[in-house]
Structure 1
Amino acid sequence: MTRPVVGIIGNQYLINDQYPAHAGGTMNSEAVSGVSGCMPLLIPADPRFVSVAELIERCDGFLLTGGRPNVHPEEYGEAATEAHGAFDRARDAITLPLVRACVESGQPFLGICRGFQEVNVAMGGSLYPEIRDLPGRDNHRMPPDGTLEEKFALRHRVEFSENGVFHRLMGARTVMTNTLHGQGIKRAGARVVVDGHAPDGTPEATYIDGAPGFTLSVQWHPEWDAANDPVSRPLFEAFGEAVRAWADGRRAVPVLRSA
Protein backbone atom coordinates (compact mmCIF):
# COMPACT_ATOMS: atom_id res chain seq x y z
CA MET A 1 0.00 0.00 0.00
CA THR A 2 1.43 3.35 -1.07
CA ARG A 3 2.02 5.81 1.75
CA PRO A 4 1.11 9.48 1.33
CA VAL A 5 4.08 11.75 0.67
CA VAL A 6 5.30 14.42 3.08
CA GLY A 7 7.67 16.94 1.54
CA ILE A 8 10.37 17.75 4.08
CA ILE A 9 11.78 21.21 3.48
CA GLY A 10 15.56 20.94 3.26
CA ASN A 11 18.25 23.45 4.14
CA GLN A 12 21.35 24.54 2.26
CA TYR A 13 24.75 23.59 3.68
CA LEU A 14 28.39 23.74 2.71
CA ILE A 15 30.17 20.44 3.31
CA ASN A 16 33.78 21.06 4.35
CA ASP A 17 33.11 24.78 3.75
CA GLN A 18 33.20 24.10 0.03
CA TYR A 19 30.68 21.62 -1.37
CA PRO A 20 27.08 22.91 -1.57
CA ALA A 21 24.35 20.50 -0.50
CA HIS A 22 20.69 20.32 0.44
CA ALA A 23 20.05 18.26 3.55
CA GLY A 24 17.51 17.47 6.25
CA GLY A 25 17.88 15.98 9.72
CA THR A 26 17.41 12.21 9.84
CA MET A 27 15.13 12.59 12.86
CA ASN A 28 12.62 14.49 10.68
CA SER A 29 12.40 11.53 8.32
CA GLU A 30 12.16 9.12 11.26
CA ALA A 31 9.22 11.05 12.72
CA VAL A 32 7.38 11.33 9.40
CA SER A 33 7.91 7.68 8.51
CA GLY A 34 7.69 6.00 11.89
CA VAL A 35 5.07 8.13 13.66
CA SER A 36 3.08 9.91 10.95
CA GLY A 37 3.11 6.80 8.76
CA CYS A 38 4.00 8.76 5.62
CA MET A 39 6.81 8.62 3.07
CA PRO A 40 9.39 11.38 3.70
CA LEU A 41 10.66 13.19 0.60
CA LEU A 42 13.46 15.73 1.01
CA ILE A 43 12.76 18.98 -0.88
CA PRO A 44 15.58 21.23 -2.17
CA ALA A 45 13.97 24.51 -1.11
CA ASP A 46 15.18 26.67 -3.96
CA PRO A 47 13.04 28.17 -6.76
CA ARG A 48 15.77 27.28 -9.27
CA PHE A 49 14.87 23.62 -8.82
CA VAL A 50 11.24 23.41 -7.68
CA SER A 51 8.10 25.51 -7.79
CA VAL A 52 5.30 25.82 -5.27
CA ALA A 53 2.83 24.53 -7.86
CA GLU A 54 4.94 21.41 -8.43
CA LEU A 55 5.30 20.73 -4.71
CA ILE A 56 1.57 21.04 -4.10
CA GLU A 57 0.91 18.65 -6.96
CA ARG A 58 3.49 16.03 -5.93
CA CYS A 59 3.20 16.06 -2.12
CA ASP A 60 0.28 15.38 0.21
CA GLY A 61 1.64 17.44 3.11
CA PHE A 62 4.71 19.38 4.19
CA LEU A 63 7.07 19.43 7.16
CA LEU A 64 8.58 22.91 7.57
CA THR A 65 11.78 22.04 9.39
CA GLY A 66 14.11 23.95 11.64
CA GLY A 67 17.41 25.31 10.34
CA ARG A 68 20.22 27.66 11.27
CA PRO A 69 19.46 30.36 8.65
CA ASN A 70 16.65 32.70 9.64
CA VAL A 71 13.84 34.22 7.61
CA HIS A 72 15.16 37.44 6.10
CA PRO A 73 13.70 40.46 7.94
CA GLU A 74 12.90 42.17 4.63
CA GLU A 75 10.08 39.62 4.40
CA TYR A 76 8.40 41.44 7.31
CA GLY A 77 9.50 44.97 6.47
CA GLU A 78 12.62 45.33 8.61
CA ALA A 79 16.28 45.88 7.80
CA ALA A 80 18.80 43.10 8.39
CA THR A 81 21.21 43.50 11.31
CA GLU A 82 24.01 41.36 12.69
CA ALA A 83 21.59 40.08 15.34
CA HIS A 84 19.41 38.51 12.65
CA GLY A 85 22.13 35.96 11.82
CA ALA A 86 22.44 34.03 8.57
CA PHE A 87 19.73 33.81 5.90
CA ASP A 88 18.44 31.48 3.20
CA ARG A 89 16.56 33.63 0.68
CA ALA A 90 16.00 30.65 -1.61
CA ARG A 91 14.11 28.81 1.13
CA ASP A 92 12.13 31.98 1.91
CA ALA A 93 11.09 32.14 -1.75
CA ILE A 94 9.62 28.62 -1.57
CA THR A 95 8.22 28.26 1.93
CA LEU A 96 6.44 31.58 2.39
CA PRO A 97 4.20 31.24 -0.69
CA LEU A 98 3.87 27.51 0.02
CA VAL A 99 2.43 28.24 3.47
CA ARG A 100 -0.07 30.71 2.05
CA ALA A 101 -1.13 28.25 -0.65
CA CYS A 102 -1.65 25.47 1.90
CA VAL A 103 -3.64 27.74 4.21
CA GLU A 104 -5.91 28.57 1.31
CA SER A 105 -6.37 25.03 -0.01
CA GLY A 106 -6.34 23.06 3.24
CA GLN A 107 -3.26 21.00 2.35
CA PRO A 108 -1.66 20.05 5.70
CA PHE A 109 1.65 21.31 7.03
CA LEU A 110 3.49 21.07 10.33
CA GLY A 111 5.89 23.89 11.21
CA ILE A 112 8.92 23.34 13.44
CA CYS A 113 11.22 26.07 14.85
CA ARG A 114 12.22 28.05 11.73
CA GLY A 115 9.12 26.57 10.11
CA PHE A 116 7.03 27.97 12.99
CA GLN A 117 8.56 31.37 12.29
CA GLU A 118 8.03 31.02 8.51
CA VAL A 119 4.32 30.43 9.04
CA ASN A 120 4.04 33.62 11.08
CA VAL A 121 5.95 35.68 8.52
CA ALA A 122 3.99 34.16 5.62
CA MET A 123 0.80 35.40 7.29
CA GLY A 124 2.14 38.94 7.73
CA GLY A 125 3.76 38.65 11.16
CA SER A 126 7.21 39.68 12.35
CA LEU A 127 10.03 38.22 14.46
CA TYR A 128 12.38 39.28 17.22
CA PRO A 129 16.00 38.69 16.13
CA GLU A 130 17.12 37.45 19.56
CA ILE A 131 14.70 36.39 22.31
CA ARG A 132 17.35 36.26 25.06
CA ASP A 133 18.05 40.00 24.63
CA LEU A 134 14.48 40.97 25.56
CA PRO A 135 13.75 42.07 29.16
CA GLY A 136 12.35 39.24 31.22
CA ARG A 137 12.94 36.57 28.58
CA ASP A 138 14.99 33.40 28.98
CA ASN A 139 17.75 32.06 26.77
CA HIS A 140 15.97 29.64 24.43
CA ARG A 141 19.04 28.74 22.39
CA MET A 142 20.54 25.27 22.09
CA PRO A 143 23.17 24.57 24.75
CA PRO A 144 26.58 25.01 23.07
CA ASP A 145 28.08 21.88 24.63
CA GLY A 146 27.02 18.36 25.49
CA THR A 147 25.61 15.31 23.75
CA LEU A 148 22.58 15.40 21.46
CA GLU A 149 20.54 14.00 24.33
CA GLU A 150 21.63 16.92 26.50
CA LYS A 151 20.98 19.52 23.77
CA PHE A 152 17.49 18.18 23.07
CA ALA A 153 16.61 17.63 26.74
CA LEU A 154 13.29 18.97 28.05
CA ARG A 155 14.02 22.44 29.39
CA HIS A 156 10.82 24.40 29.95
CA ARG A 157 7.06 24.17 30.23
CA VAL A 158 4.59 25.18 27.53
CA GLU A 159 1.09 26.10 28.67
CA PHE A 160 -1.76 25.80 26.16
CA SER A 161 -5.03 27.71 26.01
CA GLU A 162 -7.89 26.11 27.93
CA ASN A 163 -9.81 23.76 25.58
CA GLY A 164 -7.69 25.01 22.66
CA VAL A 165 -6.46 22.94 19.74
CA PHE A 166 -3.22 21.87 21.45
CA HIS A 167 -4.90 21.21 24.81
CA ARG A 168 -7.36 18.85 23.13
CA LEU A 169 -4.66 17.18 21.06
CA MET A 170 -2.25 16.62 23.97
CA GLY A 171 -4.86 15.92 26.62
CA ALA A 172 -3.00 18.31 28.93
CA ARG A 173 -2.76 22.07 29.35
CA THR A 174 0.91 22.04 30.36
CA VAL A 175 3.71 19.99 28.78
CA MET A 176 7.51 19.93 28.86
CA THR A 177 9.51 20.65 25.70
CA ASN A 178 13.06 21.19 24.50
CA THR A 179 14.17 24.59 23.24
CA LEU A 180 16.78 25.32 20.56
CA HIS A 181 15.93 28.68 18.99
CA GLY A 182 17.16 32.25 19.03
CA GLN A 183 14.33 34.11 17.30
CA GLY A 184 10.63 34.23 18.10
CA ILE A 185 7.31 35.83 17.24
CA LYS A 186 7.17 39.59 17.70
CA ARG A 187 3.85 40.38 16.02
CA ALA A 188 1.50 37.53 15.20
CA GLY A 189 0.42 37.41 11.58
CA ALA A 190 -3.16 37.68 10.38
CA ARG A 191 -5.21 34.68 11.59
CA VAL A 192 -2.21 33.27 13.50
CA VAL A 193 -3.56 32.05 16.84
CA VAL A 194 -0.92 31.72 19.55
CA ASP A 195 -2.21 28.69 21.45
CA GLY A 196 0.74 28.05 23.77
CA HIS A 197 3.42 30.03 25.62
CA ALA A 198 6.65 29.37 27.50
CA PRO A 199 6.80 30.62 31.12
CA ASP A 200 8.55 33.82 29.97
CA GLY A 201 5.72 34.63 27.54
CA THR A 202 7.43 33.43 24.36
CA PRO A 203 4.89 32.05 21.84
CA GLU A 204 5.45 28.31 21.39
CA ALA A 205 2.41 26.86 19.59
CA THR A 206 0.21 28.29 16.83
CA TYR A 207 -2.42 27.43 14.24
CA ILE A 208 -4.22 29.42 11.56
CA ASP A 209 -7.72 30.55 12.47
CA GLY A 210 -10.37 29.37 10.02
CA ALA A 211 -7.98 27.39 7.82
CA PRO A 212 -9.62 24.32 6.25
CA GLY A 213 -6.60 22.09 6.94
CA PHE A 214 -3.96 21.12 9.49
CA THR A 215 -1.80 24.19 10.23
CA LEU A 216 -0.19 23.42 13.59
CA SER A 217 3.27 24.82 14.26
CA VAL A 218 5.57 24.66 17.29
CA GLN A 219 8.67 26.58 18.29
CA TRP A 220 10.34 23.54 19.87
CA HIS A 221 11.72 20.42 18.12
CA PRO A 222 9.19 17.56 18.39
CA GLU A 223 11.09 15.44 15.87
CA TRP A 224 13.55 14.50 18.62
CA ASP A 225 12.54 11.07 20.00
CA ALA A 226 9.12 11.53 18.38
CA ALA A 227 8.15 7.88 18.74
CA ASN A 228 8.52 7.94 22.52
CA ASP A 229 7.92 11.53 23.64
CA PRO A 230 4.34 11.99 24.93
CA VAL A 231 4.14 15.47 23.39
CA SER A 232 5.78 14.73 20.04
CA ARG A 233 3.95 11.50 19.26
CA PRO A 234 0.36 12.85 19.25
CA LEU A 235 1.49 15.83 17.19
CA PHE A 236 3.05 13.68 14.46
CA GLU A 237 0.19 11.18 14.62
CA ALA A 238 -2.38 13.93 14.08
CA PHE A 239 -0.28 15.35 11.24
CA GLY A 240 -0.14 11.90 9.61
CA GLU A 241 -3.91 11.54 9.92
CA ALA A 242 -4.41 14.91 8.21
CA VAL A 243 -1.98 14.00 5.41
CA ARG A 244 -3.76 10.69 4.78
CA ALA A 245 -7.11 12.48 4.71
CA TRP A 246 -5.76 14.88 2.10
CA ALA A 247 -4.30 12.06 0.04
CA ASP A 248 -7.62 10.19 0.18
CA GLY A 249 -9.55 13.27 -0.86
CA ARG A 250 -11.51 13.52 2.39
CA ARG A 251 -9.97 16.83 3.48
CA ALA A 252 -11.16 16.18 7.07
CA VAL A 253 -8.95 17.44 9.91
CA PRO A 254 -10.52 16.26 13.20
CA VAL A 255 -7.97 18.00 15.45
CA LEU A 256 -9.03 21.43 14.16
CA ARG A 257 -12.76 21.03 14.72
CA SER A 258 -14.30 23.34 17.29
CA ALA A 259 -14.57 22.05 20.84
Structure 2
Amino acid sequence: MTRPIVGIISNSYLINDQYPAHAGGTMNSEAIAEVSGALPLLVPANPQFCDVEALLARCDGFLLTGGRPNVHPEEYGEAETEAHGTFDRDRDSLVLPLIRSCVERGQPILGICRGFQEVNVAMGGTLHPEIRDLPGRMNHRMPPDGTLEEKFEIRHDVTFREGGVFERLYGQRIVRTNTLHGQGIKTAGPRVVVDGYADDGTPEALYIAEAPGFTLSVQWHPEYRAAKDPVSRPLFEAFGQAVADWASGARPNTRAIA
Protein backbone atom coordinates (compact mmCIF):
# COMPACT_ATOMS: atom_id res chain seq x y z
CA MET A 1 0.00 0.00 0.00
CA THR A 2 1.35 3.41 -0.98
CA ARG A 3 2.05 5.66 1.98
CA PRO A 4 0.96 9.29 1.96
CA ILE A 5 3.74 11.82 1.47
CA VAL A 6 4.63 14.43 4.08
CA GLY A 7 6.85 17.29 2.95
CA ILE A 8 9.31 18.06 5.75
CA ILE A 9 10.46 21.66 5.59
CA SER A 10 14.27 21.78 5.71
CA ASN A 11 16.65 24.39 7.05
CA SER A 12 19.73 25.88 5.40
CA TYR A 13 23.12 25.05 6.88
CA LEU A 14 26.78 25.47 6.09
CA ILE A 15 28.65 22.21 6.60
CA ASN A 16 32.17 22.86 7.89
CA ASP A 17 31.42 26.57 7.42
CA GLN A 18 31.76 26.12 3.65
CA TYR A 19 29.35 23.71 2.03
CA PRO A 20 25.74 24.92 1.72
CA ALA A 21 23.11 22.27 2.45
CA HIS A 22 19.41 21.82 3.09
CA ALA A 23 18.97 19.56 6.09
CA GLY A 24 16.31 18.10 8.35
CA GLY A 25 16.62 16.38 11.71
CA THR A 26 16.47 12.60 11.59
CA MET A 27 13.96 12.60 14.44
CA ASN A 28 11.49 14.50 12.21
CA SER A 29 11.68 11.76 9.58
CA GLU A 30 11.40 9.06 12.25
CA ALA A 31 8.25 10.62 13.70
CA ILE A 32 6.61 10.92 10.29
CA ALA A 33 7.60 7.42 9.12
CA GLU A 34 7.13 5.49 12.35
CA VAL A 35 4.25 7.28 14.06
CA SER A 36 2.36 9.13 11.32
CA GLY A 37 2.84 6.21 8.92
CA ALA A 38 3.78 8.48 6.03
CA LEU A 39 6.70 8.80 3.63
CA PRO A 40 8.98 11.66 4.75
CA LEU A 41 10.15 13.87 1.89
CA LEU A 42 12.67 16.63 2.63
CA VAL A 43 11.68 19.94 1.02
CA PRO A 44 14.39 22.50 0.20
CA ALA A 45 12.97 25.64 1.79
CA ASN A 46 13.83 27.96 -1.06
CA PRO A 47 11.46 29.23 -3.78
CA GLN A 48 14.34 28.99 -6.25
CA PHE A 49 13.99 25.21 -6.22
CA CYS A 50 10.28 24.58 -5.66
CA ASP A 51 7.04 26.48 -5.66
CA VAL A 52 3.90 26.30 -3.56
CA GLU A 53 1.63 24.89 -6.25
CA ALA A 54 4.04 22.07 -7.07
CA LEU A 55 4.41 21.16 -3.41
CA LEU A 56 0.65 21.17 -2.84
CA ALA A 57 0.22 18.84 -5.80
CA ARG A 58 2.88 16.33 -4.77
CA CYS A 59 2.63 16.20 -0.98
CA ASP A 60 -0.34 15.21 1.15
CA GLY A 61 0.68 17.28 4.16
CA PHE A 62 3.57 19.28 5.57
CA LEU A 63 5.66 19.19 8.72
CA LEU A 64 6.79 22.73 9.55
CA THR A 65 9.96 22.01 11.47
CA GLY A 66 11.88 23.90 14.10
CA GLY A 67 15.08 25.68 13.18
CA ARG A 68 17.63 28.10 14.56
CA PRO A 69 16.85 31.02 12.18
CA ASN A 70 13.77 33.07 13.10
CA VAL A 71 10.98 34.48 10.96
CA HIS A 72 12.11 37.92 9.82
CA PRO A 73 10.20 40.66 11.71
CA GLU A 74 9.42 42.47 8.46
CA GLU A 75 6.95 39.61 7.84
CA TYR A 76 4.86 40.92 10.73
CA GLY A 77 5.53 44.64 10.28
CA GLU A 78 8.39 45.22 12.70
CA ALA A 79 11.97 46.38 12.29
CA GLU A 80 14.90 44.00 12.63
CA THR A 81 16.89 44.23 15.86
CA GLU A 82 19.83 42.28 17.30
CA ALA A 83 17.41 40.48 19.62
CA HIS A 84 15.64 38.92 16.62
CA GLY A 85 18.68 36.70 15.94
CA THR A 86 19.43 35.10 12.58
CA PHE A 87 17.03 34.68 9.67
CA ASP A 88 16.25 32.50 6.66
CA ARG A 89 14.44 34.73 4.17
CA ASP A 90 14.22 31.94 1.60
CA ARG A 91 12.25 29.79 4.03
CA ASP A 92 10.03 32.77 4.89
CA SER A 93 9.33 33.32 1.19
CA LEU A 94 8.29 29.73 0.57
CA VAL A 95 6.66 28.56 3.78
CA LEU A 96 4.46 31.51 4.76
CA PRO A 97 2.41 31.37 1.52
CA LEU A 98 2.43 27.57 1.71
CA ILE A 99 0.80 27.73 5.14
CA ARG A 100 -1.92 30.08 3.94
CA SER A 101 -2.67 27.84 0.97
CA CYS A 102 -2.86 24.72 3.14
CA VAL A 103 -5.17 26.41 5.63
CA GLU A 104 -7.63 27.44 2.95
CA ARG A 105 -7.50 24.10 1.09
CA GLY A 106 -7.74 21.99 4.22
CA GLN A 107 -4.42 20.30 3.44
CA PRO A 108 -2.85 19.10 6.71
CA ILE A 109 0.00 20.96 8.39
CA LEU A 110 1.74 20.30 11.70
CA GLY A 111 3.86 23.15 13.05
CA ILE A 112 6.73 22.66 15.50
CA CYS A 113 8.60 25.46 17.30
CA ARG A 114 9.62 27.79 14.43
CA GLY A 115 6.80 26.16 12.46
CA PHE A 116 4.37 27.12 15.25
CA GLN A 117 5.61 30.70 14.98
CA GLU A 118 5.40 30.60 11.17
CA VAL A 119 1.75 29.63 11.33
CA ASN A 120 0.99 32.58 13.57
CA VAL A 121 2.89 35.02 11.34
CA ALA A 122 1.36 33.60 8.14
CA MET A 123 -2.08 34.22 9.65
CA GLY A 124 -1.35 37.82 10.65
CA GLY A 125 0.19 37.45 14.11
CA THR A 126 3.38 38.85 15.65
CA LEU A 127 6.28 37.49 17.74
CA HIS A 128 8.33 38.51 20.75
CA PRO A 129 12.04 38.40 19.83
CA GLU A 130 13.13 37.07 23.25
CA ILE A 131 10.45 35.93 25.67
CA ARG A 132 12.84 35.30 28.58
CA ASP A 133 13.28 39.09 28.78
CA LEU A 134 9.56 39.59 29.50
CA PRO A 135 8.50 40.04 33.15
CA GLY A 136 7.43 36.79 34.75
CA ARG A 137 8.57 34.55 31.90
CA MET A 138 10.89 31.58 32.30
CA ASN A 139 13.85 30.85 30.05
CA HIS A 140 12.42 28.53 27.39
CA ARG A 141 15.72 28.15 25.56
CA MET A 142 17.49 24.79 25.56
CA PRO A 143 20.54 24.42 27.82
CA PRO A 144 23.63 25.48 25.83
CA ASP A 145 25.61 22.49 27.06
CA GLY A 146 24.86 18.91 27.94
CA THR A 147 23.66 15.78 26.20
CA LEU A 148 20.81 15.54 23.73
CA GLU A 149 18.69 14.04 26.50
CA GLU A 150 19.41 17.06 28.70
CA LYS A 151 18.54 19.50 25.92
CA PHE A 152 15.21 17.78 25.26
CA GLU A 153 14.41 17.22 28.94
CA ILE A 154 10.77 17.61 29.98
CA ARG A 155 10.73 21.00 31.70
CA HIS A 156 7.25 22.49 32.11
CA ASP A 157 3.51 21.93 32.02
CA VAL A 158 1.20 23.01 29.22
CA THR A 159 -2.42 23.62 30.19
CA PHE A 160 -5.02 23.32 27.45
CA ARG A 161 -8.26 25.25 27.13
CA GLU A 162 -11.12 23.35 28.74
CA GLY A 163 -13.12 21.55 26.07
CA GLY A 164 -10.66 22.63 23.37
CA VAL A 165 -9.08 20.71 20.53
CA PHE A 166 -5.94 19.68 22.40
CA GLU A 167 -7.81 18.55 25.49
CA ARG A 168 -9.97 16.35 23.26
CA LEU A 169 -6.88 14.99 21.53
CA TYR A 170 -5.11 14.05 24.77
CA GLY A 171 -8.08 13.39 27.04
CA GLN A 172 -6.52 15.64 29.68
CA ARG A 173 -5.97 19.33 30.26
CA ILE A 174 -2.34 19.31 31.42
CA VAL A 175 0.70 17.67 29.80
CA ARG A 176 4.43 18.06 30.38
CA THR A 177 6.73 19.02 27.53
CA ASN A 178 10.27 19.99 26.60
CA THR A 179 11.13 23.56 25.63
CA LEU A 180 13.84 24.78 23.24
CA HIS A 181 12.80 28.18 21.91
CA GLY A 182 13.70 31.83 22.37
CA GLN A 183 10.88 33.59 20.54
CA GLY A 184 7.15 33.27 21.10
CA ILE A 185 3.77 34.65 20.14
CA LYS A 186 3.16 38.30 21.02
CA THR A 187 -0.20 38.77 19.32
CA ALA A 188 -2.15 35.91 17.82
CA GLY A 189 -3.37 36.27 14.24
CA PRO A 190 -7.10 36.98 13.77
CA ARG A 191 -7.94 33.30 13.17
CA VAL A 192 -5.26 31.83 15.42
CA VAL A 193 -6.73 30.11 18.48
CA VAL A 194 -4.18 29.68 21.26
CA ASP A 195 -5.37 26.45 22.86
CA GLY A 196 -2.61 25.86 25.42
CA TYR A 197 -0.22 27.86 27.60
CA ALA A 198 2.87 27.24 29.72
CA ASP A 199 2.61 28.18 33.39
CA ASP A 200 4.26 31.55 32.69
CA GLY A 201 1.63 32.48 30.10
CA THR A 202 3.64 31.61 26.99
CA PRO A 203 1.42 30.27 24.16
CA GLU A 204 2.29 26.63 23.46
CA ALA A 205 -0.49 25.14 21.31
CA LEU A 206 -2.66 26.57 18.55
CA TYR A 207 -4.99 25.82 15.67
CA ILE A 208 -6.69 27.95 13.00
CA ALA A 209 -10.35 28.80 13.54
CA GLU A 210 -12.74 27.73 10.76
CA ALA A 211 -9.99 25.90 8.90
CA PRO A 212 -11.41 22.84 7.12
CA GLY A 213 -8.36 20.68 7.81
CA PHE A 214 -5.68 19.79 10.35
CA THR A 215 -3.77 22.88 11.55
CA LEU A 216 -2.47 21.88 14.99
CA SER A 217 0.86 23.44 15.94
CA VAL A 218 2.94 23.35 19.11
CA GLN A 219 5.79 25.42 20.50
CA TRP A 220 7.59 22.42 22.00
CA HIS A 221 9.42 19.63 20.13
CA PRO A 222 7.22 16.50 19.97
CA GLU A 223 9.46 14.85 17.36
CA TYR A 224 11.92 13.84 20.09
CA ARG A 225 11.28 10.14 20.85
CA ALA A 226 7.86 10.55 19.27
CA ALA A 227 7.11 6.83 19.15
CA LYS A 228 7.52 6.44 22.91
CA ASP A 229 6.55 9.81 24.35
CA PRO A 230 2.89 9.87 25.51
CA VAL A 231 2.49 13.54 24.55
CA SER A 232 4.16 13.24 21.16
CA ARG A 233 2.60 10.06 19.85
CA PRO A 234 -1.09 11.15 19.81
CA LEU A 235 -0.19 14.33 17.95
CA PHE A 236 1.73 12.54 15.19
CA GLU A 237 -0.92 9.82 14.98
CA ALA A 238 -3.66 12.41 14.49
CA PHE A 239 -1.57 14.19 11.87
CA GLY A 240 -0.92 10.87 10.13
CA GLN A 241 -4.64 10.14 9.96
CA ALA A 242 -5.33 13.58 8.48
CA VAL A 243 -2.61 13.09 5.87
CA ALA A 244 -3.90 9.61 5.01
CA ASP A 245 -7.41 11.01 4.56
CA TRP A 246 -6.08 13.68 2.20
CA ALA A 247 -4.10 11.11 0.23
CA SER A 248 -7.21 8.95 -0.16
CA GLY A 249 -8.97 11.81 -1.91
CA ALA A 250 -11.07 13.01 1.01
CA ARG A 251 -11.48 16.76 0.88
CA PRO A 252 -12.92 18.56 3.91
CA ASN A 253 -15.93 20.77 3.31
CA THR A 254 -16.81 21.60 6.91
CA ARG A 255 -14.82 22.69 9.92
CA ALA A 256 -12.75 19.72 11.01
CA ILE A 257 -11.35 21.61 13.99
CA ALA A 258 -13.39 23.98 16.13
Please give the range of the TM-score, normalised by the shorter of the 2 chains. over 0.9
Inter-partner Cα distance in structure 2 for 1:256 and 1:53: 23
**Residue ranges of structure 1 left out of the alignment (5+ in a row):** none
Matches within 5 A, 1:39-188: 39-188=39-188
Inter-partner Cα distance in structure 1 for 2:35 and 2:253: 17
Inter-partner Cα distance in structure 2 for 1:105 and 1:124: 18
**Deviant stretches of 4+, over 6 Å:** none
1:24 maps to amino acid: G
Matched residue of 1:6: which SS? strand
Residue 217 of structure 1 pairs with residue 217 of structure 2: yes
CA contact (8 A) 1:165 1:255 kept: no
Using a 3 Å threshold, how does the CA distance of structure 1 residues 181 and 102 change in structure 2: closer, same or farther?
Answer: same
What is aligned with 1:250? Answer: 250
Using a 3 Å threshold, how does the CA distance of structure 1 residues 202 and 38 change in structure 2: closer, same or farther?
Answer: same
Using a 3 Å threshold, how does the CA distance of structure 1 residues 254 and 163 change in structure 2: closer, same or farther?
Answer: farther
What is aligned with 1:228? Answer: 228
Using a 3 Å threshold, how does the CA distance of structure 1 residues 110 and 193 change in structure 2: closer, same or farther?
Answer: same
**Residue ranges of structure 2 left out of the alignment (5+ in a row):** none
Using a 3 Å threshold, how does the CA distance of structure 1 residues 199 and 253 change in structure 2: closer, same or farther?
Answer: farther
Matched residue of 2:80: which SS? coil
Inter-partner Cα distance in structure 2 for 1:235 and 1:256: 15
Q: Provide the alpha-carbon RMSD of the alignment.
A: 1.3
2:93 maps to amino acid: A
Deviation at 1:250, TM superposition (A): 1.6
Using a 3 Å threshold, how does the CA distance of structure 1 residues 216 and 155 change in structure 2: closer, same or farther?
Answer: same
What is aligned with 2:237? Answer: 237
TM normalised by structure 2 equals: 0.98
1:164 maps to amino acid: G
CA contact (8 A) 1:242 1:253 kept: no
Using a 3 Å threshold, how does the CA distance of structure 1 residues 28 and 142 change in structure 2: closer, same or farther?
Answer: same
TM normalised by structure 1 equals: 0.98
Inter-partner Cα distance in structure 1 for 2:239 and 2:113: 16
1:105 maps to amino acid: R
How many residue pairs get matched? Answer: 258
Identity %: 76
Matched residue of 2:193: which SS? strand
What is aligned with 1:18? Answer: 18
Inter-partner Cα distance in structure 2 for 1:27 and 1:254: 33
1:152 maps to amino acid: F
